[in-house]
A and B are shown apart, each in its own frame.
Chain A
Amino acid sequence: MRKGNLISAIIFIIIGIYVLIEVSTFPNLGGEQVTGPEFFPKILAIVLIVLSLILFISTILDKENRETGLFNALATKTYITMFSLLAYVLLMGILGFIIPTIVFLIGMIRLCGMKSIPRIAIVSILATFVIYGVFQLLLAVPLPTISFLN
């Protein structure tokens, strides 16, 4: 946790500084406006930096050190999921909703530990069509379709 705290504190401080820099380019029209578009973000950035410093210092002073769990072996599945999700969404933009969803579900359910492939396939196909039915047909939400056919 110490490393996690320290890294997040540093990241926040960097964000705070970035905001302060960006904000200095905001125009303040003055006149009618007593506070301009830079007011709120500026105050927030300062508070952010102050709080991050407190976090940083208190982490260094604190002797405890708990595990984060961000990098242990169990988390690998989660990271695989994240990347698959990325691919899934990208594919959905090209191939539409139905096929990528089926593929994604098959892969995910297998990843999560179900064994029998035929059963996985049937569940995935069923789930995909139920979701498709509820959203596209019942709620009239136009889900992405294969774009190169349009």
Chain B
Amino acid sequence: MKNSSKRLLCMVLVLILVGTFTSGCAKKDSVFPNKTINMIVPFSAGGGTDIVTRAVADAAKDYFPESLVIVNKTGAGGALGMGEGANAKPDGYTLTTITVELTILPPQNLASFTSKDFRPIMQINAEPASITVRADAPWNTVEEFLTYVKENEGKVKAGNSGVGAIYHLAAAYVEDEAGVKFNHVPYEGAAPAIAALLGGHIDVVMVSPAEVASQVEAGELKILAVADNERLETFPDVPTLKESGYDVVIGVWRGLAVPADTPDDVVNVLREGFSKAVAEDKFVTFMENSGLSLAVLDEEEYTEKINREAELYKELIDKVLK
């Protein structure tokens, strides 16, 4: 080999070695954050959880000196992504977007973690389940509907987004409180279930109002009730299940969290930055335009909610699936 080629090769190799070794290093003795923060999204690009996270990261970028990078890590209904997030180093450089699946998957042995492995920072978004039927269905109130279901045990077809998933549990919750029985038909997600409802193949779905908003507006579907504590701003004429005497409050939610032992000073920085982000005009407008409800809870309220739901869903799942 000629000498000049050898030297060139050596130089290039040295450069590579230097480059690869320094790319991962963080500068010592500096303030958090001093390198890129990863945000794990346990669901696929383009989905609800993904776009909320991207929007919040975009709104937050002015408040953090380092960049926020979204990493989609899908699989096992959210368990893979959340699992990785739970096991990450508690140094604040790995955030995870947690969802209600955090409380649903562990009781079914579908996750390697529990909600205790996370330290929530804040909830960003929450949507209640609903009782949605076709616009031409003969029931106009949730009471009429549930009376019908009672008289036709096991005949009314309720589509859900998957066995053991949130909308299946919502239907089971209703069954429990109202003393009725549905014929649960599982689909691979909310969208196919909604399609089946539109096509007349099933009778009711429990998905969130946001997911059927455009069909309701177009007069193809109608929402009989929502499973929330108060009526929704976006659908003020729709009563809550509580109003009809059924204590059913259940729905999806999304928020940010870090691994459980993350120190306070790091969490404070994160909380400050993201609190400002969710208050930003462009973020609020984005949520409105996308039909998503902004529902911010701080760490204390959020942790309390998560713990409460973890208990509740564990019981519900035990009843429903065993």
Q: Which residues of A contact B (CB under 8 A)?
A: 32, 96, 98-99, 102, 117-118, 121-122, 125, 140, 142, 145-146, 149-150
Interchain CA distance A125-B70 in the complex, whole Å? 28
Whether B20 and A146, one on each chain, are in contact in the complex, defined by CB atoms closer than 8 angstroms, is: yes
Interchain CA distance A71-B19 in the complex, whole Å? 43
Q: Which residues of chain B come closer than 8 Å to A121, judged between CB atoms? A: 9, 12
Residue of B nearest to A142 (CB): B71
Which of these, B24, B69, B89, contacts A146 with CB under 8 Å?
A: B24
Which of these, A98, A140, A142, contacts B16 with CB under 8 Å?
A: A98
Sorted from nearest, which 3 A-B pairs have the closest CB atoms? A149-B24, A118-B5, A98-B20
Whether B1 and A118, one on each chain, are in contact in the complex, defined by CB atoms closer than 8 angstroms, is: yes
Q: How many B residues have CB within 8 A of the partner chain?
A: 22
Whether A149 and B21, one on each chain, are in contact in the complex, defined by CB atoms closer than 8 angstroms, is: yes
Contact flags B160-204 to A (C-beta < 8 A → 1, else 0): 000000000000000000000001100000000000000000000
Whether B16 and A32, one on each chain, are in contact in the complex, defined by CB atoms closer than 8 angstroms, is: no
Q: Which residues of B contact A (CB under 8 A)?
A: 1-2, 5-6, 8-9, 12, 16-17, 19-21, 23-25, 38, 69-71, 89, 183-184
Q: Which residues of chain A come closer than 8 Å to B69, judged between CB atoms? A: 140, 142
Q: Which residues of chain B come closer than 8 Å to A117, judged between CB atoms? A: 1
Interchain CA distance A98-B15 in the complex, whole Å? 12
Given the interface contacts A121-B9, A125-B12, A125-B16, does A32 sit within 8 Å of B21 by beta carbon? no
The interface centre, meaning the residue of B6, B8, B24, B184 with most chain A CB atoms within 10 A of its CB, is B24
Q: Which residues of chain A come closer than 8 Å to B8, judged between CB atoms? A: 118
Interchain CA distance A98-B16 in the complex, whole Å? 8
Q: Which residues of chain B come closer than 8 Å to A142, judged between CB atoms? A: 38, 69, 71
Whether A149 and B9, one on each chain, are in contact in the complex, defined by CB atoms closer than 8 angstroms, is: no
Q: Which residues of chain A come closer than 8 Å to B9, judged between CB atoms? A: 118, 121-122
Residue of A nearest to B4 (CB): A118
Whether B184 and A146, one on each chain, are in contact in the complex, defined by CB atoms closer than 8 angstroms, is: no
Q: A99-B17, A125-B16, A146-B24 are in contact. List 16 more A-B contacts (CB 8 A).
A: A98-B16, A98-B19, A99-B16, A99-B20, A117-B1, A118-B6, A118-B9, A121-B9, A121-B12, A122-B9, A122-B12, A142-B71, A146-B20, A146-B21, A149-B21, A150-B24
Whether A149 and B25, one on each chain, are in contact in the complex, defined by CB atoms closer than 8 angstroms, is: yes
Interchain CA distance A122-B12 in the complex, whole Å? 9
Q: How far is the CB of B322 from chain A (nearest CB, A)?
A: 10
Residue of B nearest to A128 (CB): B16
Interchain CA distance A103-B70 in the complex, whole Å? 30
Q: Which residues of chain A come closer than 8 Å to B24, judged between CB atoms? A: 96, 145-146, 149-150
Q: How far is the CB of A5 from chain B (nearest CB, A)?
A: 37
Q: Which residues of chain B come closer than 8 Å to A150, judged between CB atoms? A: 24, 89
Residue of A nearest to B35 (CB): A150
Interchain CA distance A137-B291 in the complex, whole Å? 32
Interchain CA distance A149-B23 in the complex, whole Å? 9
Residue of B nearest to A145 (CB): B24
Interchain CA distance A132-B25 in the complex, whole Å? 19
Interchain CA distance A145-B5 in the complex, whole Å? 29
Whether A145 and B23, one on each chain, are in contact in the complex, defined by CB atoms closer than 8 angstroms, is: yes
Interchain CA distance A142-B71 in the complex, whole Å? 8
Q: List 8 A-B contacts (CB under 8 A).
A: A96-B20, A98-B16, A98-B20, A118-B1, A118-B2, A118-B5, A149-B25, A150-B24
Residue of B nearest to A125 (CB): B12
Interchain CA distance A98-B17 in the complex, whole Å? 9
Q: Which residues of chain A come closer than 8 Å to B70, judged between CB atoms? A: 140
The interface centre, meaning the residue of B12, B69, B89 with most chain A CB atoms within 10 A of its CB, is B12
Q: How far is the CB of B17 from chain A (nearest CB, A)?
A: 8
Q: How far is the CB of B138 from chain A (nearest CB, A)?
A: 25
Residue of A nearest to B89 (CB): A150
Interchain CA distance A117-B20 in the complex, whole Å? 23
Residue of B nearest to A140 (CB): B69
Interchain CA distance A140-B20 in the complex, whole Å? 17
Interchain CA distance A4-B8 in the complex, whole Å? 50
Whether A102 and B184, one on each chain, are in contact in the complex, defined by CB atoms closer than 8 angstroms, is: no
Q: Which residues of chain A come closer than 8 Å to B21, judged between CB atoms? A: 146, 149
Interchain CA distance A32-B5 in the complex, whole Å? 74
Q: Which residues of chain B come closer than 8 Å to A96, judged between CB atoms? A: 20, 24
